[in-house]
């Protein structure tokens, strides 16, 4: 079975993907998405299987929770966040752990269940660091597209034997997955980002990410004046 372990929808401020379109494409290409929005857990109607998740901003960087039942608050310490993920019987992933630009948790990845060793938007060098780290600490691994636009979903995915979507079984299979390593189309991504930001500006939304909810509100207030 094919799973993309890192996908956003428009429940994230920086993504334009309508979740219905995502599940339609998922069905077409036969890839199960883990829906991992920034600090938000969503449960769309299951027109195709998916893994409910959240990419949570902690005080120490970002961590993903997979198979969550309840949303986890952002800005807690990493330790507290990992406890909350564990309490739900869910799995933790270190996304882009060695990215200097994208809130990777670096060496703290020792404490998580799974290491993301391939990220569709990440520089290959930082992927390689993550891969070496995972090998050294004998951690299960995944690859994900980190898609924020629909065209990005479906290029990169992780393949494991067919099984039921159950955290413990999936974790075991991720000791030896086959990762299909295709980066996003960066030229197309830049164009999509620019078009998306222009749309945000025309709606009076703050196009600068990461932007807190408060910043978004201030921007809206200013735009109204």
Binding span for Zn ion by CB under 5 A among 65-73, 80-88, 145-153, 187-195 = 145-153
Please tell me the distance from the alpha carbon of residue 37 to that of residue 66, in angstroms, as a whole number: 11
| Beta carbons of 15 and 29 less than 8 angstroms apart | no
Interface with Zn ion in residues 16-55 (CB under 5 A): 55
Least distance between Zn ion and beta carbon 180 (Å): 18
Among the residue ranges 66-74, 144-152, 185-193, 200-208, the one whose residues contact Zn ion (CB under 5 A): 144-152
Q: Is the peptide bond before 143 cis (omega within 30 degrees of 0)?
A: no
Among 34, 146, 174, 183, binds Zn ion (CB under 5 A): 146
- Kindly state the number of chain residues that form the binding site for Zn ion, as judged by CB under 5 A: 2
- Exposure b/e, 192-207, CB count within 10 A at least 16 = b: bbeebbeebeeeebbb
**β strands within 91-223, DSSP E:** 91-94, 114-119, 141-144, 157-159, 178-180
Q: Which of 69, 16, 82 is nearest to 42 (CA)?
A: 69
Nearest Cα to Cα of residue 156 among 117, 116, 120, 123: 120
State the minimum distance, in angstroms, from the CB of residue 37 to Zn ion.
Answer: 8
Per CB under 5 A, 116 contacts Zn ion? no
Min separation Cβ 62 and Zn ion, Å: 7
Q: Please, which residue, 146 or 163, has the CB nearer to Zn ion? A: 146
Q: How far is the CB of 224 from Zn ion (least distance, A)?
A: 31
- Which residue of this chain has its Cβ atom nearest to Zn ion in the complex? 146
Contact 93, 63 (CB under 8 A): yes
Q: How far is the CB of 42 from Zn ion (least distance, A)?
A: 14
Residues that bind Zn ion (CB under 5 A): 55, 146
């Amino acid at each position: 079975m094919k799973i993309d372990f890192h996908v956003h929808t428009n429940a994230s401020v920086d993504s334009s993907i309508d979740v219905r379109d995502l599940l339609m494409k998922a069905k077409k290409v036969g890839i199960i998405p883990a829906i991992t929005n920034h600090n938000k857990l969503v449960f769309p109607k299951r027109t195709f299987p998916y893994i409910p998740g959240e990419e949570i901003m902690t005080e120490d960087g970002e961590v993903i929770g997979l198979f969550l039942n309840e949303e986890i608050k952002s800005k807690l310490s990493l330790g507290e966040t990992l406890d909350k993920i564990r309490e739900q019987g869910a799995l933790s992933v270190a996304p882009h752990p060695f990215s200097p630009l994208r809130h990777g948790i670096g060496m703290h990845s020792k404490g998580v269940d799974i290491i993301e060793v391939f990220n569709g938007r990440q520089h290959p060098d930082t992927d390689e660091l993550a891969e070496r780290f995972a090998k050294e600490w004998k951690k299960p691994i995944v690859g994900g597209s980190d898609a924020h636009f629909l065209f990005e979903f479906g290029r990169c995915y992780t393949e494991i034997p067919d099984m039921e979507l159950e955290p413990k079984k999936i974790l075991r299979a991720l000791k030896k997955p086959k990762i299909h390593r295709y980066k996003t189309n960066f030229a197309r991504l830049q164009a999509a980002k620019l078009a998306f930001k222009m749309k945000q500006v025309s709606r009076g939304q703050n196009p600068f990410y990461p932007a807190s909810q408060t910043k978004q509100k201030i921007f809206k207030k200013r735009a109204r004046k």
